[in-house]
Structure formats: C-alpha cells, structure tokens
A and B are shown apart, each in its own frame.
Chain A
Amino acid sequence: MSQYRVSGRGRVDTSRPVTFTFDGKRFTGAQGDTVASALLANGVHLMGRSFKYHRPRGAVAAGSEEPNALIGTRRGPGRFEPNTRATVQEIWNGLETNSQNKYPSLKFDVGAVNDAAYMLFSAGFYYKTFMWPKNFWHKVYEPFIRAAAGLGVSPTEEDPDHYASRYLHCDVLIVGAGPTGIAAARAAAVDGLKVVLVDENAEAGGTLLSEPQAQIDGRPAWDWLAAELEALKAAGVKIMTRTTAIGYYHQNMIGMVEKLTDHLPELPEDTPRERMWRVRAKQVVLAQGALEKPLVFHGNDRPGVMLAGSAQTYLNRYGVLVGKRPVIVTSHDSAWFAAFDLQDAGAQVQAIVDLREGVHEALLSEARARGITVKLSHTATATSGRLRVSSLRVNPVSGGSVGAGEEIRCDAVLMSGGWTPSLHLFSHTKGSLAWDDDRTTFLPKDTPEDCLIAGASRGLWGVEAVLKDGAEKGREVAELLGKTPAQVAYSVAGDRTGTGISMKELPTDRSPGKAKAFVDYQNDVTAKDLRLAVREGMRSIEHVKRYTTNGMATDQGKMSNINGLNIAADALGKKQPQVGLTTFRPPYTPTSFGAFAGYHRGDHFEVTRKTQIDAWAEENGAVFEPVSQWRRAWYFPKAGEDMDAAVARECAATRKSVGIFDASTLGKIEVVGPDAVEFMNRMYTNPWTKLGVGKCRYGLLLGDDGYIRDDGVIGRLGQDKFHVTTTTGGAARVMNMMEDYLQTEWPDLNVWLTSTTEQWSTVALNGPNAAKLLAPLVEGVELTEETFPHMSCVECTVAGMPARLFRVSFTGEIGFEVNVPAPMGRQLWETLWEAGQQYGITAYGTETMHVLRAEKGYIIVGQDTDGTVTPYDAGMGWAVGKKKPDFVGMRGLARPDLRAKNRKQLVGLLTEDQSKLEEGAQIVFDPKQPVPMTMVGHVTSSYDTGTTGRPIALALVEGGHEKLGETVYIPMPDRTIAAKITSTIFVDPENARLKI
C-alpha cells in the first residue's frame, strides 16, 4: 500500500489497484480514486503551474470547485481533454494524464520568471502595460502572453466520441444527493410522484461520504446511506450520478450533463461519452451544499496548502492522508474536526491555529485529549518550501496588532475560512440574495421559479439540521403537487455542528503590498490586486472583478467570490451588500462542446433533404449543391469534364433537343375552397379571377412593404382549387405567411392551405423535343399548341401514373413539368430517361437551370432580388394587377420611396472584354472618381458559358431601365471592367422557341 494510504479508511477498493500515468510516470491508485486522491496517496502534491505566475500548485480541494489541479487526460488518438480537474477525474487502468502550463517540466518551469516579476503583473496589467506602441500588441505582447499564460492546450484531433441528449419531464428534481437531497427525495417520493435526484459525484452521499462518524437513526452514516439509496430506488426515485446540473433556465428547465464513459477503462459500444439532459421539473429542490473558503495569506497557494474539509474528504472517502505532519489554520470550527480525524488516522497534527479569540470548550478538550497544540488569536503570515510546503509562519494577534512570528514545521497546511452556500443555480433563476451578517455570507431569498433551496446551500450546518430541512422541503414540494407526504424525523449522533467567522486577508506583520496572498488561485489574483483596483477607482464589484479578473476563471469564483468581496468591501469602507455580488452564470462547471452539440455532428449535423430522384443523380455522377435544407444535383459531369464544360454541354443539349431536370424541391401549396380565387387575388400581385381552369400564370408575391418575397407558377385545377408553386427555399416561409394572413387578417375566407411540396415528385422536360418525347406517354390530353398551349395545366396520366401536368418554361424552351405522387418520382424519371434516349436526352442540374433562365431574364428571388426590390425594379410591372382593389404589397408599392426615380433596377450586362463578372461585384458610373467611389449597384447573376456565346450578367443598377446602351464600370482588385447595360433578355425575346 502506498505511503499515504490509511488502512481501513475510505471507500476506495485497495484490493483493486489501478495504474495510470502522470507526466509519463506510472502511479498506482485504488479503484474509486480520483487522479488527485491517487497522486496524494503517492505523496504527490505538485500537480500544476498557475495561470499567470507559473507558481507550483497542488490540489486545494477535493471536488469540482478545484481551481489548481487542472490536467490533460488522454485515451488514445483524438481522446484528449485539457483542463480536467484532477479532483474529479476517476482513474482507470491505462489513463494517461499530464500537467499543464509548464516548460520544460513541472518541477522546473522557465515561465516561473513571471512570479519573480510579480510586482509588474498587478491588477489591470493588460490595460496598462500593453497599450503602446499599438502595433506591439499583435507582434510582441499577445504572442508572449499567449505562450506564457494560460491553461491547457486545445485538442487538435477530431473527437471520435459521440454525444447524446435527452428530454426528461419529472415532478420533482433534486439537485445534490447529500443528506439534504436524499431526505428531500425520500419525502417527495410519495404517491407516484416522479422524482429525480442528481449528483455530480461518482456516488451519492455528499458530505456523508466524508463524515462516516455520524450515526443517523442509530446506524453508521454509510450504512444508513446505503439503505436509504436502496429505499429511494424502491420508491421509484431516479438517481443520477456523475451528472452535473449546469444551468437553471426559465420555467424550471434545468440543463444537466451526464458523464458516461470518462471513468471506464473500456469504452462500451454505442455509449455516448456525455449526455445533455434537458429536464423540465414541476418543482425543484436545490441541495447543492456549501463550499469551503480558503484563508488569504502570503503563500496560501503552495502545494500542500489545502482546504481542511477537503483533507477530511481525502481521508474519509479515499483513505488518503494528505500529510503526516499537518498544521491547521482556521476561522471555523469545522477544521478542528478535520484535525481530529487526521490525528486519529495516524497523523501528527502540529498545531491548530485559530484566528478567533475563543472557541467552544468541547473542541479545546478534544484537542487536549489528542495532545494537539492549540493557538488561538493567531494569524498565518507565510509558508515556505519550494515545490511543497515545509513550514507555516504564525503570529499572535492582540488588539489588532500582530506579534512576532514563529515557524511551524509541517508537510501540509489545512485551512478553513468558513463555508459559502452554493448559490449558483439559485442565482441562475434570477433569485435574489440577502446578506447575512452573522454568517458573513449571502443567503438565498426569493426566486421567481418553482424552486426551493435546502440544507447547507441556505446556510444550515450539521447533518441533523440539513436532513430535517431536506425532509421539510421535500414534503413542501410534494404538497405543492397535491400530495400528502408523511412526516419523517431524523436523529443524528456524532453530528459536527459548528460556527465560524469570515475573514478578509489575514492580518500580517509584513508589508501587505508584497504579500502573495491569493484570492483567486486559477487567475492568480491576490488581495493586493483587489485593493489596487479599488485604489485605482473601481467601485462596483463588477468592475473590480473585471479589472482584476477575480472569479473569472473556469471555476467561476467558487472559492474566491466571498473572500474577494470581503476584501473589496473593506478597501471601500463599505458593507458587503453595498458592494454587491457578481452574477453566477451557467454552466456551473466547465462543459464540453460535445455535450452542447449532442447528436448534431457529422451526418447528423443538420437535416439534409433529398428528393426521390436524388439517388439516380448520385448513381449518375451528379455533383450536388445545398439549397436551403435540400441537396440538389448541381451538374452532371461526364468523364474529364469540369463544371464549366458540363454546364455548357447541358445548356446546349437542352436548347438543341431536350433536357431533364429534377424540380421536386419546388414548394407546392394546394389552395382549396370557395374563396380560393379571392385569397389568391389578395395574396399575389396578379389578377386570378379570369384565369380559366386548366391554365397557369406566373405569380409574384410581395410583402406588405411592396418588396418581392417569392414567385412561382400557379395552376388553376378547378374553380376552387389552385396548385401554387413557390421557390425551393421559400416554401415554408410562404406557407407561414399565407397562413398568417388567412388566420389573422381574413379568417372569414372559406379557403384552406395544404403543403403538398412532398406529395409530388416534379420532373421538368425542356427543349425543342420535349413535347415529342412526352406526348406518347400522356393519356388524357394531346400535347399540341392548340390543345395544350404554353401555360396550361391538367390532371392526367403520365406513363401510367396519376399526374398533374404543367406546360411551363423556366428555360425559354418548350417546357413541361410532370408531377406524380412522390414515391413514383424515380419511376417517372427513369421512364422519361428511357423514352428520351432517341432524342439524346440530357440530365441537367441547378447550374444549367440558372444559366438558361438568366439568358431569358427570368429572376431568381433571393439572388436577383434582396428584399429591397419591387416588381417595377425587376422590370415585372406587367405582373402587377393594377385594377385590383388590394393585394399584399399594393399599398406598399405606393410609398414615395418605392416610386422614386433612380431606384436600383434590374438590367442585363455585357462586358466589353467578354470576361465574366463576379457575382456581388460593385458597379460605378465613373471609374476615374476618387476613392471611396459612389457605388450604384451590383452584379446579381453572372455566367460564363451558355448558348449566347459570351458571358452574361444581371445586375441592379441605379436608374438602369433608363440607361440601356450606356457603359458602367466594375472596379476589381486588378483592373476595371467596362460593361454595357442591356435588356435582361439575351435569348429569343420574341418567345418563338416556346411554340410546339
């Protein structure tokens, strides 16, 4: 057994040794150890270097509040995590750990030169020191600070683990499974109430794990605990360990992170590393306990100086003596019990040094009985020792003056500055706090949430008191939920009640300005820094905090907040509540990005919608592009083709013979009801009343501000039935907008909307041979110019499938869109593909579609429009029904600004040098004007290849419609391109090609 392991103590299983490495060196601990407890069992206190001064540091605590002992943990490739608290990480065979923020080694670190320069690195040093010269910041200061200061390094490999999330609804959530939480759960678990008890530690029990001497209801604490946990499980309570409640959100929503595998030697299959629980509880009981405060004195950060309560935990929970010759410094009774426990376990306590003038006689006689020296009215003024404390200097204090110092040799200093109720989650609720002068701390007052706070987290002390309080709060929440829980009484023997006082930095006989008396260990903030901040004008604790960074490290000031407040209040000559407390924010402890991301990574990062024809496209070599949530076939390259070549081929083939295109992603809305036509009249700019059944019309949708929102072809399939299509990206938005007007402005209209986007697979055929290809497959209509002219629609049969057939064109060629029930989409596509072979049918993607439509001047909403473009700006005044009494956007179009001359208008551009413009490029009228130039528009669409034999572009240009034939300029980084303003129609302005 290792040197510092105490036989017969602790809950770890020493018969199951566990081997791990720390900085490459092998150590053996016991099953149940944390890295910190195992290292301490091996006599290792030095576990890291501090953030700013690179001072050697050891574990100061035994739980998640630990600010110093931050390590990196590794489990093979990709599984590296920095900044893990050694006090929380459980060991397993093969675990690799390393210390951080040191070079070249933990024991000899060159960065410790910062420590010697302590006087330079005072509060606000970033603001003062690095202000000038300006360009030194990037080149000199920042790289130096980044290299020298900081915690662990970020992992660089991809994380191979997976992460999970879950929603959980319960009646009662109890945070903290110490005696308070257990008693609360027991009381609340009545009459079928769903109770969840959660604790961040590996096992439930809280303080009871460190206080085995207590007898509850006549049973030793650990026996009682085991029986009670069994009873809770039997009562249906869900007990979740290794699960941290990280944040308390609105209406009793609590975020909890469960760690599932970090303690396991083997990773089980299909098990996530961490799981985020989003819990909605009807009632919450917060029983997070209290955190011990350090004392603030010179050298209080040396390895071997730790919290007395934590030493007690290491002894009683892990069977580890943190030192064989400890000395205790305290302002609270609780540390006396730590002294007694260590003495009883074989340590020789060198002295109990208490800041107070008097303590309870019972404590003094217990100390006497053990032969422990007691020094009341004494202060600690220094520690010494290089990488481990070797002595403590103590001085008597009398009437405010500090007497001569005396060195006490020791191998550990156990300190207690009293206890701070853990109010983090309570504060997340926007709960108000009240200052309690007796306890020198803030206590919880009111909260807007359905939440009670119990036990030590509301300032109670002692096992019996918190059991009683837990049971009371448990009963209270059960009653609030309409149940009548039974009364439970607890009696506790061997309870360690006590009191104490809260200190600012301890009195000293040395210059306080030179003292390295740490308040915030993690950010290396000293009492001197806080006083300096006040001297330099900081008045609010929020300013003091930011100026000094006190409480701003990853431990969020769990240990430092109250000490910092006491010192700042003293420096300001105010009471603590007048200075205020900084805000606690989620998460309670550092939380991995993986836990927040949950399942949403890799393939599951977000929804990828695919059409029924997508698989065909993939099998046929399509390159895809994302369009809103959809992935769409972009182009279909043949062997050796790049994008330009493929698109040029697809364009030519479509204009020459026939192209086939998957248009299934277009939004579709079925508008049905006697008022369908009235609804269409009100929604769209166009008139619909005279549109015959079996006819289609291009529809333009505006917002009430008069700007273009969406467009699409709309077919009238019956007197009361319209088949509306929308843009791919606009489908959901348009549906929402229509429902909004219908439900809230025109609830009297008898018309209903149904999304049919995914009811139909839509295949578009375009080209001179489209009708020839399709005609033999269609039953119910003849595809001639007379029987089925351009802009017709019909319900018919295509290739034996029920279909809605539209004769429309987004290419300028003869065009059809065949809609069949979605699952038949691929069958339709393949049938048309086969039938089209004789015409050399060519599949084209979205890029060719874009080129072909641009050649015809057809706009794409969201590309050629940007939410500030009116139909008139886009040259589509013809689509506006001027005789209608109203439509959405009609009044908006009459706004003075929208009628102004010189608005940016959509035009075509042809470059003089035949080069392709960049989409988004800015346009000027005079290229010789001084910079910054007056920009008069931008290129909205631009294509290199196509059927016109030269690049074309669409652009929005100020007053463009009046400037046809004029030249504008597009300044680029390397040159200025001249372009002529043209009509937006580059191909077949007479629409001759649309005719069969």
Chain B
Amino acid sequence: MLLIHCPYCNETLPELEFTYAGQAHVVRPEQPSGQSDEQWEEFLFIRANVRGPHYERWRHFHGCGRFFNAVRDTVSDKFLTTYEADAPRPDLSSLTERQK
C-alpha cells in the first residue's frame, strides 16, 4: 500500500484514503464540437502506457476531496512528486535527478 502526499492537505497519507483518476494533463478541449473525429478520438481514448515516470491523477476521496496530479514511476511504484490540479507539469529531469 502506497503513501501519497496530498498537496492540498500537505500530509502524506495511506493510499486507502485516495482513489485513482487516470492520466493527468489530458485537457478537455474548450470547444469539443470543433474537434475532428481524430482529435476527439485522441482525447477520449488514447493514453500513455509509460514504463517509468507517469503523470497521473488521484483524488483525496476520503479527505479533502480534491483531485490532484502526481508523477509516479510505474516501475518502482514510487511517487516522484504530487502537485495541485492547476499547477504546470513539472520537469521530469529535475524529478528523476532528485530521486537518485
């Protein structure tokens, strides 16, 4: 069972308080009706299948209730960082550097 740092509560808590919410930084287009079928397919269905650091979303469901983002290494299952939902995507090289 993982430990997850909630960026809103600023506490590191057991995974059982959280729910997984899929890949992060998949932005719903402002004007979905203006999307081509290909673009919409990409948005709806196409996801990364990363071996290594993966940008993903979690929700502190049994806590503050907020969705937030995380970078988790899918090989080691370790979180490199978590950050608020509206924060920019963190630079991977700085995170992996910190991990070493």
Question: Is B33 an interface residue, CB under 8 A from the partner?
Answer: yes
Residues of chain B lying within 8 A (CB to CB) of residue A430 = 76
Contact A744 to B85, CB < 8 A, known contacts A249-B1, A251-B3: yes
Query: Judging by beta carbons under 8 Å apart, are B37 and A250 in contact?
Result: no
Determine whether B31 belongs to the interface, using a CB cutoff of 8 Å to chain A: yes
**Closest residue on chain B to residue A884 by CB atoms:** B33
| Residue A896 interfacial (CB < 8 Å) | yes
Q: Name the CB-closest residue of A to B1.
A: A253
Residues in B with CB closer than 8 Å to A736 are: 19, 59, 61
**B67 close to A739 (CB less than 8 A):** yes
Kindly state the separation between the CA atoms of A249 and B59 in the bound complex, as whole angstroms: 22
Q: How far is it, in angstroms, between the C-alpha of A829 and the C-alpha of B40 when the chains are bound?
A: 49
Docked-complex contact B1 and A891, CB < 8 angstroms: no
**Partner among A278, A885, A886, A896 whose Cβ is within 8 Å of the Cβ of B1:** A278
CB distance from A446 to the nearest CB of B (A): 12
Quick one: which of A881-932 are within 8 Å of B by CB? Answer: 885-886, 890-892, 894-896
Any B CB within 8 A of the CB of A448 = yes
Is the Cβ of B28 less than 8 Å from the Cβ of A448? no
Are A251 and B31 touching (Cβ within 8 A)?
no
Given A743-B85, A891-B40, does the pair A448, B32 have CB atoms closer than 8 Å? no
Range class of the B interface residue count: 20 to 34
Alpha-carbon distance A704/B61, docked complex (angstroms): 22
Q: Which of A278, A739, A745 contacts B28 (CB 8 A)?
A: A745
Residues of chain B within 8 A (CB-CB) of A251 are 1-3, 78
In contact, B44 and A705 (Cβ under 8 angstroms): yes
By beta carbon, the residue of chain A nearest B34 is: A891
| A-facing residues in B26-68 (Cβ within 8 Å) | 27-28, 31-33, 35, 37, 40, 43-44, 57, 59, 61, 65-67
The CA-CA distance from A895 to B32 in the complex, in Å, is 12
Q: Which residues of B contact A280 (CB under 8 A)?
A: 3, 14
Residue of A250, A741, A894, A896 touching B77 (CB-CB under 8 A): A250
Q: Determine the chain A residues whose CB is within 8 A of the CB of B66 once the complex forms.
A: 743
A740 close to B (CB within 8 Å): yes
- Complex: how many Å from CA A736 to CA B67? 10
The size class of the interface chain A forms with chain B is 20 to 34
Interface residues of A, dominant DSSP: mixed
| A885 CB contacts on chain B under 8 angstroms | 31, 33
A371 an interface residue at 8 Å Cβ cutoff? no
Which residue of chain A is the closest to B78 with respect to CB atoms?
A448
Chain B minimum-CB-distance residue to A889? B32
Q: Are A886 and B32 in contact (CB under 8 A)?
A: yes
Interface residue A265 (Cβ < 8 Å from any Cβ of B): no
Q: Is B21 an interface residue (CB 8 A)?
A: yes
Closest Cβ–Cβ distance, residue B81 to chain A (whole Å): 15
Tell me the bound Cα distance from A707 to B61 in angstroms: 25
State in angstroms the CA–CA spacing of A894 and B2 once bound together: 41
B86 close to chain A: CB less than 8 A: yes
A704: B residues at CB distance < 8 A: 28, 32, 43-44
Enumerate chain A residues within 8 angstroms of B35, measured Cβ to Cβ.
891
With contacts A280-B14, A886-B31 known, is A892 near B3, CB below 8 A? no
A891 touches B33 (CB 8 A): yes
A253 to chain B: closest residue by CB: B1
- Which chain B positions have C-beta within 8 A of A743? 66-67, 85
Bound: A250/B44 CA distance, A: 32
Q: A278-B1, A704-B44, A891-B33 are in contact. List 16 more A-B contacts (CB 8 A).
A: A250-B1, A251-B1, A251-B2, A251-B78, A253-B1, A280-B14, A448-B78, A705-B44, A739-B59, A740-B59, A743-B66, A743-B67, A744-B67, A885-B31, A886-B31, A894-B33
Q: Which 9 A-B pairs have the closest CB atoms?
A: A891-B32, A251-B3, A743-B67, A745-B28, A253-B1, A744-B85, A250-B2, A744-B67, A891-B33
Q: Return 20 A-B CB contacts under 8 Å, by A number.
A: A249-B1, A250-B1, A251-B3, A278-B1, A280-B3, A448-B76, A448-B78, A705-B44, A736-B19, A739-B59, A739-B65, A739-B67, A744-B57, A744-B67, A747-B85, A747-B86, A890-B33, A891-B33, A891-B35, A895-B40
